Structure formats: C-alpha cells, structure tokens
C-alpha cells in the first residue's frame, strides 16, 4: 500500500490568524489526514479536506472533531453505492453533524475486518471524545495511524507491541512539557516510539508551537523518526 499525508497540522492549522511566531511566518500545515492507496482501492484516513478529491471507496475516521470529519460534508452528496465510513460509536456528535448522511454509511467496528486486500484493526486511543486509531496490514507491510491521542490505553499498547509496525503515523502536537490532556507532546510521542519500535515513524498533528520550538534549537531525534510536510507520500513496505 501507499500513503500520502495530505495534511500534518492541528485543528487550528499553521499559520494561525494573528500569530507572528516563527512557524506561522514560515510553515503551512492543514488538518491531519491521509489517503491510502492499494490495488484498486482508495481509502481516506480522516476526512480533513473539504475540496473534492478523487472519491474514496472507504473512510477510516478517528473521531468526530470537525478537523477530522469536515470532508464528509460534500462527500455525502454523492450518488450510487454507499461510502462506507468506519468510525467510533459517538451517537450524539454524529447526530449533530450528520442528521443528513446522504450516501455515507457508518460502521462501528470493534474487531479486525477486511477492506479489499487489507486487514484493518480499530485501536482505541486516549482523547477527549471516543477515538480510534487504525492498523492497516497487507502482505507488503503494516501501517499504524494513531491520531489524536495522549499516550495509549494499556490494551492498545499490548496489541501494538505484538505487531511489527513498518510505518507509524503518530500524534506529536506540542513541545515537550505541554500539559495538553488530549494530545502527545514530543517526549510522549518519542516514548511511544521507544515502546512500539516501528521501523519508521512520521510525526503529525504538529502545532505551530511545536514547529516554533524545534526551529529554535537542536534536539535528539530517535532513529527512524521524522517530521514531514503536507503532501508527503511514500510506500509502506516491510522493514522500509
């Protein structure tokens, strides 16, 4: 499978209105979301873009905050076959957002399921609303998309420790020492990397505060861990 990270920023995006920090003067990040391409199938990981894309066959939604679902609003006015949206069960937020779901058909899996050539496993995360990460596996590689989260629940850690992860896409919102109860700061992201030992890690959901922090200093990055820009694309293959 191939993944393209269309967006790598947080809910406020970069630049922020009225902000003169180094990041906001130099960097541009849209809401974190990605597209996974397999043989004959396009899957959205979160629906961050409201501009028409090549329409996906399925959407894996982490949660119902607006920066992760906004792309579903135009998508629902499609026609023909339903668009299957796999998401946590969050009836109240879904009702406000999708009183008119159109062609969207919501599913709330708790066990692994097949999606084309992939096996997909929902991974409960720790956020302010019900949130799921997603583990995508085929015979070429294994991708874990863990956004938005602060740390990981024990059961999710156990499951992920037992899985060799080729590519981890991980929430790293704030500079070290942040007290955000809903997102990893950089040290917390590194701790997850050391625990899960993925072959390669891309840090996403990056705030202007973290970008400004890292523009201003040198610091130790664990091997195989990278910050990337909106639009970054790569293949997920075993051990690469």
Q: Which of the ranges 15-23, 127-135, 163-171, 214-222 carries the binding residues for a copy of itself, by CB under 8 A? A: 15-23
Using CB under 8 A, pick the residue from 39, 40, 51, 218 that binds a copy of itself.
Answer: 51
Task: For the chain, count helices (H), then strands (E).
Answer: 7, 14
What does 42-79 look like in DSSP terms, one character per residue? EEEES----S--SPPSEEE----SHHHHTTHHHHTT--
Site for a copy of itself in 116-155 (CB under 8 A): none
Q: Does 164 bind a copy of itself (CB under 8 A)?
A: no
Using CB under 8 A, pick the residue from 25, 77, 155, 195 that binds a copy of itself.
Answer: 77
Minimum separation from the CB atom of position 77 to a copy of itself (A): 3
Q: How far apart are CA 47 and CA 189, in angstroms?
A: 23
Q: Does 30 bind a copy of itself (CB under 8 A)?
A: yes
Residue of 74, 27, 21 whose CA lies nearest to 50: 74
Q: Does 50 bind a copy of itself (CB under 8 A)?
A: yes
Pairing of strands 142-146, 132-137: antiparallel
Using CB under 8 A, pick the residue from 80, 177, 181, 239 that binds a copy of itself.
Answer: 80
């Amino acid at each position: 499978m191939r993944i393209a990270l269309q967006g790598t920023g947080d809910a406020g995006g970069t630049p922020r209105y009225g902000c003169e920090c180094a990041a906001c003067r130099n960097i541009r990040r849209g809401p974190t979301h990605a597209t996974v391409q397999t043989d004959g199938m396009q899957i959205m990981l979160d629906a961050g873009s409201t501009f028409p894309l090549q329409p996906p066959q399925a959407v894996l939604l982490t949660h119902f905050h607006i920066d992760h679902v906004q792309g579903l609003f135009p998508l629902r006015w499609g026609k023909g076959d339903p668009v299957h949206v796999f998401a946590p069960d969050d009836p109240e937020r879904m009702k406000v957002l999708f009183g008119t779901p159109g062609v969207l058909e919501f599913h709330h899996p708790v066990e692994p399921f097949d999606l084309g050539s992939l096996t997909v496993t929902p991974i409960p995360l720790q956020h302010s609303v019900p949130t799921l990460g997603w583990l995508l596996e085929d015979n070429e590689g294994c991708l874990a998309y863990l956004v938005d989260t602060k740390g990981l629940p024990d059961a999710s850690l156990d499951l992920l420790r037992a899985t060799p992860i080729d590519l981890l896409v991980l929430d790293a919102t704030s500079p070290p020492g942040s007290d955000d109860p809903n997102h990893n700061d950089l040290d917390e992201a590194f701790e997850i990397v050391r625990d899960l030992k993925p072959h390669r890690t891309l840090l996403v959901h990056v705030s202007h505060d973290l970008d400004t922090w890292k523009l201003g200093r040198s610091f130790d990055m664990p091997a195989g861990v990278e910050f990337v820009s909106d639009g970054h694309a790569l293949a997920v293959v075993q051990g690469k």
